[in-house]
A = this chain, B = another copy of it.
Amino acid sequence: MNATMSMLSMVEAKLPPGFRFHPRDDELVCDYLAAKAAGGSTESSSMMMVDVDLNKCDPWDLPAAACVGGNEWYLFSLRDLKYATGQRTNRATMSGYWKATGKDKPVTRKGLLVGMRKTLVFYQGRAPKGKKTKWVMHEFRMEGSDGAPKLPF
Contacts and interface: CB of A to CB of B under 8 A. Distances in A.
Nearest to A17: B31
Interface residues of A, number: 19
The secondary-structure label for the interface of chain A is mixed
A11 interface: yes
A16 B46 CA distance: 10
B23 A17 contact: yes
A11 B17 contact: no
A60 interface: no
Interface string A3-42: 0000000011001111111111001100110000000000
20 contacts: A11-B15, A11-B16, A12-B19, A15-B15, A15-B19, A16-B31, A16-B44, A17-B31, A17-B32, A18-B21, A18-B22, A18-B23, A18-B24, A18-B28, A18-B31, A18-B32, A19-B19, A19-B20, A19-B22, A20-B20
